Structure 1
Amino acid sequence: MAGYKGHLTGAVVVTGLYLAGLAAVFAVDEAYRQFSEMEMVGWAAVLMGIGLMFGLWPDVDTNSKGQNIFYWLFFLTDVALIGGRHFREAAYLGLFCILPVIGKHRGWTHSKWAMLVVPAPLVLVPMLLFPDQEPLAGLPFYGAAVAGYFSHLLMDGLIVPLPWKKRRSGWSR
């Protein structure tokens, strides 16, 4: 099991590979020309940030750096929602926030299905809030999140058994 520094390193590598693939796709039809150099750097930084955050996300179910970061973000977001009198949204955020801690460590947050489902709002929310816009505008963000999440599961030896990882009995994913 990697520590948070190992997970961040893994997320940088895997998300970097994802960004390289995304750049290659954009280069095929020169779609990158729609962005200035500053925008390309900015979008790459945002996507890398998302990859790093989701590289730490699965450990939100235990006392960890990832948990500290996410719960501070959740707290600040909840305060802003309450301050803006968005009580329903604040309640849903609170409900969402307790889900990881009511499970066991390396439970559902370390599953392959969670790797695909947890980042799904990055695609679904823009589709729902801005139906007139490009329907898959959130797809690059989703991809970065899945890349980061994948890196965490990979570093923990849950995707491909790593030779230096000892599998725990009873863990069959």
Structure 2
Amino acid sequence: MPGYKLHLVGGGALVGSALAVTHHCEVAVFDPFTASALMVVGLLASLFPDVDINSKGKHLFYALLVVVDLVLMVQERYQWAAILGFVAMLPAVSKHRGFTHRWWAAVLIPALVCTLPVWFYQLPWQVMLPWYIAAVLGYASHLILDNVL
């Protein structure tokens, strides 16, 4: 069973490759901050399926979420902070290798995360598409390494 380091490498490789290809093919070109943020989303998503157990990956995942959530609250982006908090609680309602280790969760959980801002802020769905793709790729990398996908 791969540990959190291998999951981070897998997520980083898959999301980083996607960013490189989209940039090279000029499908989408992101500024360095956005590209870095997309990479962080992919890395967090690569850890997400295992946050239902006590592990180093879980501690790293929640440490990063605490920082991001605090920054959002300081910036008075309370709805974004609430979305993040809601998603962070999802694994608590599952057993290990429960729904978080299903292929459909890799598609639906990021869709939920990306749909909420569209609903709350009336953002065009296209704005959230890169974030959705980064999350799905990171999540899928975890399932691939665990031989679930």
Question: What band does the TM-score fall into relative to the shorter chain?
Answer: 0.7 to 0.9
- Share of identical aligned residues, percent? 41
Correspondence 1:23-62 to 2 at 5 A: 23-27=23-27, 40-62=31-53
Which of the two has greater helix per residue?
Answer: 2
1:62 Cα deviation (Å)?
A: 0.7
Output the aligned Cα RMSD: 3.4
- Partner of 1:9 in structure 2? 9
Task: Name which one, 1 or 2, has greater alpha-carbon Rg.
Answer: 1
Structure 1 residues without counterparts, runs of 5 or longer: 29-38, 84-88, 160-173
Q: Deviations over 1:62-109 (max 9, x none)?
A: 1112321344456677889999xxxxx999877755542342211111
Structure 2's unaligned 5+ residue stretches are 75-79
Output the TM-score relative to the length of structure 1.
Answer: 0.67
For the Cα contact (< 8 Å) 2:72–2:81, is it kept in 1?
yes
CA contact (8 A) 1:127 1:136 kept: no
Query: d(CA) in 1 for partners of 2:4 and 2:148?
Result: 16
- Report the count of equivalent residues: 147
Change (3 A) 1:105 1:128: same
2:138 counterpart (130, 134, 148)? 148
Query: In the alignment, is the contact (CA less than 8 A) between 1:123 and 1:137 conserved in 2?
Result: no
Distance 1:129 1:61, change over 3 A: same
The question of whether the paired residues in 1 share the 8 Å contact of 2:47 and 2:61 is answered with no
